Amino acid sequence: MMALELNLQNKELTSDEIAQLAEMRKVCARRILLSTSLASSGHPGGSLSTLDMLLVTYGCIKHNPADSQWQGRDRVVMSIGHVSPGVYSVLAENGYFSEADFLTGFRRAGSGFPGHVERIVPGVEWDTGNLGQGLSTAVGMAQAFKMKGSDQKVICYMGDGEQQKGQIAEAMRYANKYNLNNLIVIVDRNHIQICGSTEDVMDIDVAGLFEVSGWNVLKLDDGHDTNKFFQTFRKAYLGKVAKTDKPTMIEAQTMMAKGVSFMENLCKYHGSPLNQDQLAAAFKELGLENDFDKWAELRKAPVATNTKLKNIVRYPAISAGEPINYDGKTDCRSAYGNALHSLAVANNVGGVMKIAGISCDLEGSVKMGDFHKHSPGAYFEAGIQEHHAASMGAAISREEVACFFSTFGVFAVSEVYNQNRISDINETNFKVVATHCGLDVGEDGPTHQGIDYIGLMRNYFRFNVYLPADPNQTDRVIRTAAVNPGNVFVGMGRSKMAMILADDGTPFFGGNYQFTPGQGDWVRRGKAGTIITYGAVTPNVMEAWQKLKDEGVEVGVLVMASVVPVDKAAIVEAVKTGPVLTVEDHHVDTGLGAIVATIIADNGLTATFKRLGVTRYGASGKPADLYAAQNLDGAGIVKTFKEML
Amino acid sequence: MMALELNLQNKELTSDEIAQLAEMRKVCARRILLSTSLASSGHPGGSLSTLDMLLVTYGCIKHNPADSQWQGRDRVVMSIGHVSPGVYSVLAENGYFSEADFLTGFRRAGSGFPGHVERIVPGVEWDTGNLGQGLSTAVGMAQAFKMKGSDQKVICYMGDGEQQKGQIAEAMRYANKYNLNNLIVIVDRNHIQICGSTEDVMDIDVAGLFEVSGWNVLKLDDGHDTNKFFQTFRKAYLGKVAKTDKPTMIEAQTMMAKGVSFMENLCKYHGSPLNQDQLAAAFKELGLENDFDKWAELRKAPVATNTKLKNIVRYPAISAGEPINYDGKTDCRSAYGNALHSLAVANNVGGVMKIAGISCDLEGSVKMGDFHKHSPGAYFEAGIQEHHAASMGAAISREEVACFFSTFGVFAVSEVYNQNRISDINETNFKVVATHCGLDVGEDGPTHQGIDYIGLMRNYFRFNVYLPADPNQTDRVIRTAAVNPGNVFVGMGRSKMAMILADDGTPFFGGNYQFTPGQGDWVRRGKAGTIITYGAVTPNVMEAWQKLKDEGVEVGVLVMASVVPVDKAAIVEAVKTGPVLTVEDHHVDTGLGAIVATIIADNGLTATFKRLGVTRYGASGKPADLYAAQNLDGAGIVKTFKEML
């Protein structure tokens, strides 16, 4: 079946359209109640609350049920991912898939119809569920459209309980700053959250907050009146608002579980389905045939093959540009800034922006200044709002853009771990580059020393993790990250350093050196064991190598800049050389040492093995002093290695 | 030297006091400039911006330089931890320590004067540095005082750039809801952040946001006018405000780097010290003797012994109450709720609240209802505001309270990782109990399935991690967590389950079973190898044990509920029994399997070893189906173990 298309040139709906929407509501309400009762779980209340608005919205926006990935479509982001029964009902009504697929598959493992909306459902744009992030996602899409000069719109559905999440305040401010007038937020104001009324649980002036953040606010007294909603939505969509350069929020008063008398306004129906008796009563009230048993029977069959869409990765063809070679002393973050600038020069040409950059009040520290100057239309200063920036950047990266996000390690990794997790689930192409990792941060002390970047990033499934050893390797790593689709984390220290040299005294990672994900680099070969390392402590390892060599101990040095994926074969090879010592500016239990240990144990190897890393929070002081205090300086490494001989 | 005490009964300062404050400012400004130039790093600008207000504040509040831990003191939380030079200068002026200790130690590893304020400095209440969290900390202290019926006040200094962080919006709402009129926020409104003016970087209506959140707002046009600030602060402190039951924010217009003409209003001085020539010029302008060289010489001596205060852990004596035994089928979260209620009955008596509870719109799901009913004055519903709730709860836990914070795993661990990290640094006594961990969350799908709780929690240094295998063990674990000081994470699944039984058919973890941190439990002994497990998949392991036994393979089952600290000896013992298989409802690379691998490798053991865990994001479906899909059901475990034989 195909849903009606509403003409935005009309100022209001026709009576035929109103009647048709009422009929569609009935059909969709049935699906909402039936699907959740069949699954014995799910969220009928909010689904019935948003339903009328959702039906009108899909009648107004540009979309194509026959080609859900059509590039010209508007985007609907359901920040309230739990209203999946409502969304799937409306998408089915619009012909994206069959009702039967939805009703037989809903909330069954392996089906294409999960409990919170996911992109495996045709028509769904983003996997959501953790409240408070959806607006940032929508902002990212709206920002990408602006960057491309497209007039596509982004519609974001939000709950009212959800408004309590602080990240939303960040996203509001950003959308105001960047004049995202192609963004429309609909707040489903049913005044109910899980534990009671929004007023009792945590009172919030929704309209007041949007207003104080510069938005247009349109208030609608009944979100179930399709004609009223159409008139309001139309104004927002056509830009018929007071501040035409600003985004618009529609605060629509609605009712939790609208349409079923004994469910209305009860918080329990936020997340509880009707049992079979209640469902029968509800269907009777709605004048619907109760075909629960038929569908329950159908659900006994093995779940239909997952309808997962072929994951269309829209990623631009990126030129890696010309590598830059470093010889004297510099810091990795300058090499990052130079590489990013050179990528902009090579790719952001003719008004097409393939590379975007985001930072959070640290442009100078993360060396994005040259990029900013070259591509002002692709650089976004997000303020001290890392949660928003991370979610937004990942959304931009799904729109044919290599999006780089840079700040210190504690902010890029630790602070936004869950935002990056949702991006990981969403298979984005996000390039997170943290410039201040580890004890190498120095004087700013433990709150600023991120020593968990591997320990955290390894909990994802779709983030590569690269940790270059010097500016030359940084240059190559950044270009690799830019050229390939997918999520990448690149971490580096803060300090200036000399280049890592090959045996012949030339820069090891300069010249024709190629960085290959999943491949370690034997900077030195040795027969007396191996030190495996990466990042800011590599110079200390080289110093230890020299001292050991001077004492007649020829140890190998394996630099493992690609930590995910990791070079298992090289580690197995290292074990064959003798004792293996890992050295890292990272929590000793969760970094490279833990990875190497796993490979040793997984392969049933017997090894003399030690891990050097950060064993307690660092102090505030010079990196050299902090390293010495935790045996991560040259002397500490030598001493530890010799204990293994 | 001892600073002046200002009498709040006076409506304004005397001219003598004003003159004395002006003299103190000069002394402190000198320390700010000198300390940062000596360290060649640090934040002079904001320090000079807050200085006058800070001097007046310490003149007004209750505090005791001779006993910085005096229980009756008001609390000052510096959310802007980077203005440490200003704070240390003022604390020295108040006699907390000598100027020489500060100037010779500032930002040197091992000294007691770190770059961001830390509790090792007498007079500092909280280690801060990551912006946006300090208000939540202050709210926690204010909430604790309210809970105890104390009239102590909490003063929180914040920056204006910092106001961009979303967590602040959460904290504002909470403080309004709970009528924390003992809380005073001072926003240092200098309009400068690192990358420019706050208006350019990310414009924000600071007063508007506090007002729309229900606070009293007092606007002060010159935060450097000590008399004006005194008059304003006095009103806030004495509750002479419009809404006497609400917290108060003072928005004080100030100037970055106030007092040194060539530094004023320049963002570079947010985080850059003067070089020696500039310092000489500044001292000349201020009419100060330039004794840089003297101090630089003194700093060449080895750093003075760390003045770290003896860490006074104020933790209440908690009765563990009577263990509850379970036999039929129930869920671990109900056992948690019962244990928490029983702890309240045993400890929250006579109006003294030793146990507090916090949740985020999930009271029913996390089973805190009985606790709430018993101790309404110690239960705090924080709304959907996890960042704030985590920071606040940890602050409460430093005030002689065992504070339990409960929500789902993805919110208690993944969403607030960095908040818990700062709490870890602050050596709190926070009890984070996550009720919905792993694939066992089921139909809510991957965004809600936290499979990283070990992988994340292990990056801290001061969190024990307990993962009970059934409701009986949950009961014992929760009581252990309550009785002992320190941070604890307890994670559990969602589903109902039968009890784990001993060989004799009685509940293994019931009766006299004692949970001991760092000790594993041999639920079965076997000679054909060992399966090591914990949590929600333990019943599947027991099923596999039975099947293997039926086939003549007598495998041991080691339940490792205490993952941090872990029972290394038991793991070494397991390796001696034969093949070792780890089974967990957790990311396969970062959980118990990784821990066991590390112990195998660290000890140079040779083992036949495999890890079963979550190898890809789970689907939305019944936990049993999700387990089967990832070989975590009984059959999958049997099959995997047999491949090792």
Residues of A in contact with B617 (CB under 8 A): 425, 461
Closest-CA residue of A relative to B161 is A384
Residues of A in contact with B213 (CB under 8 A): 205
CA contacts within 13 A on the Cβ side of B526: 25
Whether the Cβ atoms of residue B84 and residue B42 lie closer than 8 Å to each other: yes
Residues of B in contact with A133 (CB under 8 A): none
Spatial neighbors of A457 by CB under 8 A, at least 6 apart, are: A413, A420, A463, A465, A489, A564
Closest-CA residue of A relative to B368 is A195
Cβ contacts below 8 Å, chain A against chain B, sum to 342
Here the contacts of A1-9 (C-beta below 8 Å, separation 24 or greater) are: A1/A93, A1/A95, A2/A65, A2/A94, A2/A95, A3/A55, A3/A58, A3/A59, A3/A93, A3/A94, A3/A95, A4/A59, A5/A59, A6/A56, A6/A59, A6/A60, A6/A230, A8/A60, A8/A234, A8/A237, A8/A238
Closest-CA residue of A relative to B593 is A598
CA distance B135 to B54: 17
The 10s digit of each residue's pLDDT in A403-446 is 999 999 999 999 999 999 999 999 999 999 999 999 999 999 99
The ipTM estimated for the assembled molecules is 0.97
CA distance B181 to B241: 10
| Domain A15-298 sits in CATH 3.40.50.970 | yes
Spatial neighbors of B490 by CB under 8 A, at least 6 apart, are: B336, B431, B432, B433, B434, B466, B467, B468, B474, B477, B478, B481
The 10s digit of each residue's pLDDT in A239-296 is 999 999 999 999 999 999 999 999 999 999 999 999 999 999 999 999 999 999 999 9
The 10s digit of each residue's pLDDT in B163-187 is 999 999 999 999 999 999 999 999 9
- Orientation angle between helical segments B84-93 and B15-39, nearest 10 degrees: 130
Q: What is the least distance, in Å, from the CA of B511 to any CA of chain A?
A: 35
Closest-CA residue of B relative to A439 is B109
A149, A139, A144: which is closest to A175 by C-alpha?
A139
State residue A1's pLDDT score: 46
Q: Measured between CB atoms, which of A176, A446, A590 is closest to B458?
A: A590
Q: Measured between CB atoms, which of B107, B410, B456 is closest to A621?
A: B107
Three-state DSSP class for residue A240: coil
With CB atoms and an 8 Å threshold, state whether A170 touches B164.
yes
With CB atoms and an 8 Å threshold, state whether B606 touches A606.
yes
CA distance B151 to A4: 63
The 10s digit of each residue's pLDDT in B47-98 is 999 999 999 999 999 999 999 999 999 999 999 999 999 999 999 999 999 9
- Orientation angle between helical segments B417-425 and A417-425, nearest 10 degrees: 150
Three-state DSSP class for residue B292: helix
DSSP B120: T
The 10s digit of each residue's pLDDT in A165-187 is 999 999 999 999 999 999 999 99
CA distance A90 to A58: 8
State residue B305's pLDDT score: 65
Domain boundaries, chain B: 15-298, 330-497, 521-644
With CB atoms and an 8 Å threshold, state whether B81 touches A589.
no
Verify cis geometry, omega within 30 degrees of 0, for the bond prior to A507: no
State residue A11's pLDDT score: 97
With CB atoms and an 8 Å threshold, state whether A173 touches B608.
no
- Where is B320: in which H helix or E strand? none
Asked if residue A58 has pLDDT above 70, the reply is yes
A476, A327, A313, A320: which is closest to A397 by C-alpha?
A313
With CB atoms and an 8 Å threshold, state whether A110 touches B621.
yes
State residue B4's pLDDT score: 87
Other beta carbons within 10 angstroms of residue A149's beta carbon come to 10
The 10s digit of each residue's pLDDT in B109-159 is 988 899 999 999 999 999 999 999 999 999 999 999 999 999 999 999 999
Q: Do domains B15-298 and B521-644 have the same CATH topology?
A: yes
Tell me which residue has tokens 């002002």: A376
- For every residue of B543-605, DSSP letters joined together read HHHHHHHHTT---EEEE--EEES--HHHHHHHHHHS-EEEEEEEETTTSHHHHHHHHHHHTT-
* pLDDT > 90: percent of chain A: 97
Q: Measured between CB atoms, which of B213, B456, B602 is closest to A459?
A: B456
Other beta carbons within 10 angstroms of residue A569's beta carbon come to 12
- Where is B76: in which H helix or E strand? strand B75-78
Residues of A in contact with B422 (CB under 8 A): 447
Asked if residue B557 has pLDDT above 80, the reply is yes
- For every residue of A141-178, DSSP letters joined together read HHHHHHHHT----EEEEEESGGGGSHHHHHHHHHHHHT
Average pLDDT, chain B: 96
With CB atoms and an 8 Å threshold, state whether B452 touches A421.
yes
Q: What is the least distance, in Å, from the CA of A103 to any CA of chain B?
A: 14
Residues of B in contact with A604 (CB under 8 A): 606-609
With CB atoms and an 8 Å threshold, state whether A212 touches B205.
yes
Whether the Cβ atoms of residue A115 and residue A151 lie closer than 8 Å to each other: no
Interface mutation target, options A620, A622, A643, chain B, most CBs of B under 10 Å: A620
With CB atoms and an 8 Å threshold, state whether A445 touches B114.
yes
Other beta carbons within 10 angstroms of residue A333's beta carbon come to 24
State residue B310's pLDDT score: 58
Q: Measured between CB atoms, which of B417, B606, B611 is closest to A417?
A: B417
CA distance A435 to A405: 10
- Quick one: average pLDDT of A189-211? 96
Other beta carbons within 10 angstroms of residue A550's beta carbon come to 9
Interface mutation target, options A598, A603, A627, A645, chain B, most CBs of B under 10 Å: A598
Residues of A in contact with B363 (CB under 8 A): 195
With CB atoms and an 8 Å threshold, state whether B601 touches A597.
yes
Three-state DSSP class for residue B537: helix
The 10s digit of each residue's pLDDT in B212-237 is 999 999 999 999 999 999 999 999 99
| Domain A521-644 sits in CATH 3.40.50.300 | no
Q: Measured between CB atoms, which of A195, A364, A459 is closest to B363?
A: A195
Residues of A in contact with B193 (CB under 8 A): 361, 383-384
Closest-CA residue of B relative to A163 is B384
**Reported confidence tier of residue A452, pLDDT bands at 50, 70, 90:** very high
Cα distances (Å, whole numbers) of residue A12 to A16, A155, A218, A534? 12, 20, 16, 64
Q: How far separated are the first and last CA of chain A, in Å rounded?
A: 75
Other beta carbons within 10 angstroms of residue A559's beta carbon come to 27
Query: Which fold, B330-497?
Result: Rossmann fold (3.40.50)
- Quick one: average pLDDT of A313-336? 96
**Reported confidence tier of residue B311, pLDDT bands at 50, 70, 90:** low
**Reported confidence tier of residue A310, pLDDT bands at 50, 70, 90:** low
Residues of A in contact with B421 (CB under 8 A): 410, 414, 452
Give counts: helices (H), strands (E), chain B.
23, 21
Closest-CA residue of B relative to A456 is B456
Q: Which two structure tokens, joined as six digits, stand for B30?
A: 């000198």
- Where is B309: in which H helix or E strand? none
DSSP strands (E only) in B146-242: 154-159, 183-189, 192-193, 196-197, 216-220
Residues of B in contact with A365 (CB under 8 A): 194
With CB atoms and an 8 Å threshold, state whether A458 touches B422.
no
- Which has the minimum average pLDDT: A485-494, A577-586, B105-114, B597-606? B105-114
Spatial neighbors of A617 by CB under 8 A, at least 6 apart, are: A446, A449, B425, B461
Cα distances (Å, whole numbers) of residue B637 to B585, B612, B641? 12, 8, 6
The 10s digit of each residue's pLDDT in B540-555 is 999 999 999 999 999 9
**Reported confidence tier of residue A305, pLDDT bands at 50, 70, 90:** low
With CB atoms and an 8 Å threshold, state whether B109 touches A170.
no
Beta bridge partners of B192: B197
CA contacts within 13 A on the Cβ side of A121: 34
CA distance A118 to A213: 30
Q: What is the least distance, in Å, from the CA of A4 to any CA of chain B?
A: 31
> What is the pTM for the complete model shown?
0.98
With CB atoms and an 8 Å threshold, state whether B363 touches A458.
no
Asked if residue A306 has pLDDT above 70, the reply is no
State residue A613's pLDDT score: 98
Whether the Cβ atoms of residue A106 and residue A113 lie closer than 8 Å to each other: yes
Residues of B in contact with A128 (CB under 8 A): 447
Tell me which residue has tokens 């007002």: B211
Q: What is the least distance, in Å, from the CA of A479 to any CA of chain B?
A: 27
State residue A309's pLDDT score: 60
Q: What is the least distance, in Å, from the CA of B507 to any CA of chain A?
A: 30
- Quick one: average pLDDT of A24-44? 98
Residues of A in contact with B587 (CB under 8 A): 458-459
Spatial neighbors of A209 by CB under 8 A, at least 6 apart, are: A163, A169, A172, B169, B209, B212
Closest-CA residue of A relative to B618 is A109
Q: What is the dihedral angle through the alpha carbons of B597, B603, B608, B614, rounded to the nearest 10 degrees?
A: -10
With CB atoms and an 8 Å threshold, state whether B361 touches A193.
yes
Residues of B in contact with A193 (CB under 8 A): 361, 383-384
Whether the Cβ atoms of residue B419 and residue B132 lie closer than 8 Å to each other: no
Tell me which residue has tokens 């499979």: B451
Q: What is the dihedral angle through the alpha carbons of B636, B641, B643, B645, rounded to the nearest 10 degrees?
A: -160
CA distance A499 to A471: 7
State residue B1's pLDDT score: 46
Residues of B in contact with A380 (CB under 8 A): none
CA distance B358 to A643: 49
